[in-house]
Amino acid sequence: MSKRRFSWSVEILLLAVTAALLPIRTAWCEGDPWYRDVDYHWAAPYIYVLWLEGVTDGQLSWWRDQLRAYFLPDSVCTRSQFTVLLAKVFGLSPCAPEYPSYPDVPKDYRMLPGKPAWQWIEAALAGGLTFVPRGRYFYPDSSITREDAVELLVTSLDLGPVAQSLSDQEVASLLGQFGDGMTTSPERRRSMACAIKFGIINGYEDDTIRPKNPMWRCHAATVVYRSCLIRASAYPSAFSPDGDGKDETVTLSLAYLKNRGISAWQVIIEDEKGHRIFTFNPDETGGTPPSSLVWDGKDRRGLTVAPGRYYYQASVRDRQGRQFFSVKKPLDVQKHSLRGYLRPEICHDGEILTIDAFTEPKAQSVYGVFSDGQVRYLHRIDEGTRWTMQLAIGPFLPEGPQDVTLVAVFPDIERLLPLRFTRLDSLWLEPDVFPNPAGPGQSIRLFCRTSENVKEVTAVLMGQAVNLTKRGNSWEAETRVSAAVASGEYPVTFTAKTATRQAQGTVILEIRTQRLQDLVFTLIK
């Protein structure tokens, strides 16, 4: 006997023993009376729990003034019956739009004698529990195939993205556990593989899953029992406890049985090898579980877990000690990081500003938001962990210090990194003095060519400041050398100023007194 078949047999045996101990004939719940045709059926324990939850629908009939109910466990389950069961298990409220959404599901439609179903099917459509688009034919009385039922369950349990993320190799491996696994319709294979992986559906004793066979009502009750009576979900499905203050925790939401009299609960988190990493309520103390829990990504020792895929599962016990499990679901721990730098930190117009960024794990894109409001994308160097860009700086950016905000885009998450540099526009000056050399008392001309952004030019000669006047593309002024100045070399310091900074240049003026003495001698002669 295979291990899978052995575990299946033990499960049914234990549930059958449990069912024999239940006061089935005397129990009562809101909804149908207890069903007369399931007392000794192998699925009785599953049907009983769903019946106590008030979510089952059977066929009702009167006999000698007594209302009798029959579950019809070995009859095929129709598309409408399975949809209504899901809508009730997921706690949806009946929905009654003005006009029916499906042409073959009118307002007076009944899935069983005396069992209206239109409002429940409308609720399932509104709640995303059906894959038939509005306006199409629903075929409510057709039997639902096992693969279609699995597709609905996987979608309803928010496992659709997980199913789609399975590789072709993993899908083939999971379906290959059964002799007819690959006969599943191509568009249903990922959902079927996902259901096998997380224990939503088990095979028959002959190692088949019979994907295209109609699902019986007893099997419908069984798969819903296994996957929907206690449900857990995580938001976000991937989080990043890396200490940067963003997406540091994950919230686990719980939805559980309403009529079972919960006496204990527990939520466990495991790694991919099945090792328990963290447990909420490890001692299973009494009381109902909270509606939500927050995990900070730390293990039971208080250490942050390594990046990777983990799994979470909730369980509750009722007052009879029976334990109910949610479907085990994946949860990704990711260390999303963005590092980067730019150079040079002071950049003149015409210079190239280079920005390098490093992401972990692979990012979808990285871009920078500059002071001019423009978004400029970095180029991917490798598979998505190294990025770079080069930008020629110019007057399209403001002068002075400014921020560049780097943004790394990951699936469902972003990371930001502020960088800072200073833009210096082109500032230059070419000063000169005419004539040079000059003599004491002589008139001289100060001249300075500058860049266009210069707003003011001054010159200082022998302690005297002179303001130059702009004329075309140059700055000019005239001044006179003091008659009492001695021979020698004197600096003339020019200062060119923009709105934010300034630059200086110096010309050495040579003063020669000999020229004046020669001129006086000539006049006397």
CB 387, CB 379: distance < 8 Å = yes
Q: What pLDDT score was predicted for residue 260?
A: 58
Residue 191 counted as domain residue: yes
- Does residue 13 lie within any of the structural domains? yes
**Within-domain flag for 91:** yes
Residue pair 297/249 in contact by the 8 Å Cβ criterion: yes
Which class for 12: exposed (0-12), middle (13-18), buried (19 or more C-beta within 10 A)? middle
Those residues with Cβ within 8 angstroms of residue 463's Cβ, 6 or more apart along the chain or in another chain: none
* Model pLDDT, residue 104: 96
Q: Is residue 522 part of a domain?
A: no
Q: Which residues contact 353 (CB under 8 A, 6 or more apart)?
A: 342, 343, 344, 347, 390, 391, 392, 393, 421
**pLDDT score for 27:** 40
pLDDT score at 160: 87
What is the residue-wise DSSP string for 298-338? B-TTSPBPPSEEEEEEEEEE-TT--EEEPPPEEEEE---EE
Q: Rounded to whole angstroms, how far apart are CA atoms 21 and 307? A: 46
CB contact at 8 A, 324 and 266: no
Query: Looking at the domain assignment, is residue 452 inside a domain?
Result: yes
The stretches of 22-158 forming alpha helices (DSSP H) are: 44-52, 79-89, 118-126, 146-156
Answer whether 147's CB lies under 8 Å from 215's CB: no
Same-domain check for residues 30 and 41? yes
Q: Looking at residue 363, what is its pLDDT?
A: 92
Residue ending a domain, choose from 177, 198, 228: 228
For 338-389, the three-class secondary structure string (H helix, E strand, C coil) is EEEEEECCEEECCCEEEEEEEEECCCCEEEEECCCCCEEECEECCCCCEEEE
Whether residues 412 and 479 share a domain: the answer is no
The whole-number pLDDT of residue 518 equals: 54
Q: Residue 289 has what pLDDT?
A: 84
Of 424, 440, 471, the residue at which a domain comes to its end is: 424
Find the domain containing 412 and state its range: 337-424
Tokens found for residue 294: 């927050």
In a domain, 321, yes or no: yes
- How high is the pLDDT of residue 109? 96
- Tell me the backbone φ, ψ of residue 488, rounded to 5 degrees: 150, -175
> Residue 405 maps to which CATH number?
2.60.40.10
pLDDT 10s digits, 382-405: 888 999 999 998 889 988 899 999
Low-confidence ranges of the chain (pLDDT < 70): 1-30, 257-261, 514-525
Q: Are residues 142 and 289 in the same domain?
A: no
Residues 202 and 167 in one domain: yes
Residue 517's pLDDT is 54
- Using DSSP's 3-state secondary structure scheme, residue 198 falls into coil
Q: Rounded CA gap, 93 and 114, in Å?
A: 19
